Structure 1
Amino acid sequence: MAKNQSYYFSHDINASNDPKIAAMISELGMISYAWWWILIEKLAAADDYKLPLKKYTFVALDNELRMNNEQILTSVQQVFNKNQHVLEQNSMCSFCSFLLIYLLIHDYELLDCDDEYFWSPSLIRRFEFKKVKEETIREKRRLAGLKSAESRKAKKQNLTHVQQNLTHVQQNQLIKEKKRKENNIERDTRAREDENPLSMFDDDEVKNKPIYDLYMKAIGDVSPVIKDRLDDLVESYGKERVIVAINTTADNGGNSIKYVETVTAGNLKKEVQKDFGASKHNGNARNVSRKKEEVDWQAEYERVHGKG
């Protein structure tokens, strides 16, 4: 069995009142109480909570307990006198820790042993109880985890079942609600545009915004269609001609984009005629002069001499 991995073990707060412990302290002195708990710590860290009855064990314990022959023999002299046969039969009786453990086993019944190991029955019971308790807790946590997982799975299945079994009425209600929200958004958008019809053209980068603004003030609202037609006019005739056409339309009482388009095209035509009118007039004058210079000699002869 692997070594115990716990870093503590239970320790009764009234352990010193145990009759066996009290007898040990009374006969061996208070120092034996320290030896006892150091020994318990060593057992708690050992495999199966047991230490072997071997020479190396007692060599190590003498060092750990900081015991010497004079001290231990003085402390246990009267107690150990009745066990002289042990000294004669066991070669390890020269180790102070062996004498202490012998007394703890046979006189105070705090330890137990067999031919190979010695141990503390109380310590083993405590660790077995701790092990059972920890296993019980782990099992409870495992079952709680399984129960929680089953509960989540059931909720998920129920939710899926509910979603899959929505009635047509509920589905229609969802559709109607979606349409209502869309209508509300559209209505709010129209309301904002009614308050400020140019709000759709609030982008500072809109190059024809002054044209839209002039149209709004002089003629009427600017819809997306009117905006596109104004853009076409500006692109075809230039911004200055469109501004003139809008002002002319307003002065003449016009109230439509068609009117503005007609005026713009008419103004351009007038400009063309004006530009080319003078040159045309000069050309006609030259033609007249030339005709005058061309004399119909046959006609003149007939006029002077008469026909026949």
Structure 2
Amino acid sequence: MSYKDAYYFSHDSNARQDEKIIALRMKLGWEGYGLYWALIEKLRDATNYMCVKDYNLIAFDLRSDAAKIKSIIEEFGLFAFTINETGECFYSMSLIKRMTQFDSAKAKLSVSGIKGNLIKNKHITKAQAASMNDDEILELNEKIKGNNGGGSGAGRETTANKGKESKGDKSKEKEIEVYRQFLHLSISVEDFDKLIETGYSKEQIDSILESIENYGPNKKYKSLFITAKNWLKKDFGVPKTKEEQVVIENETEEERFHREWKAKNKTIPMH
């Protein structure tokens, strides 16, 4: 965490009036309230905003009693629990929602910076950048970083490197098996297979490729694979099994947020 981030924290001014917090204050008073926020601060600083349930260690850090820490974490419904590679952990869904919004805003600023550097170093034009979404910008940046041997994707390439890459690209083109091509765009059999593995059908992919080919402003696109992937997601969504679809259709907004966050962080819920 950077020095600047260490001072960021979102906190509702009326948190003390929450029913769960009132129950906490009834049992442990303002000391319990203070310890609760100390725990939230610890979670804010922790990886993935969750901590291992080591109450003795936490009590030592907060100069408190392990029994009080356990009571605050387990008795009032203020925290949720999971198991990951580090063991049994606890976390706050309220904190995660806030920090997800914060992290998303930071990510957008990061993408804006990358986009600006790509334009500055003439990898793309302003018009091209305006037509690309965040995923396309990040993927292009990663490709440029790979071509530069792992260096900064937004860094300026030398003439010598460009020459080497140009020769390398020509030899690679001979080896790539193209699935479909039109205008300046093409998608390889390998990338087509990736879309199939994602869960989309051949009919869905072919339909999207046909739509892209017939789309008037398609000259602005730089990657048929990325464009097809985005269009598939937009038109057909992320492929789900029938069982998953039934669960998703019946879940609440809170359950949906919880599920998506757990999937992102690859955690196992406790029962």
TM superposition score category, shorter chain reference: 0.3 to 0.5
Higher helix share: 1
Report the structure number with the largest CA radius of gyration. 1
TM-score (normalizing by structure 2): 0.37
TM-score (normalizing by structure 1): 0.33
Higher strand share: 2
Where relative contact order (Cα < 8 A, 6+ residues apart) is larger, the structure is 2
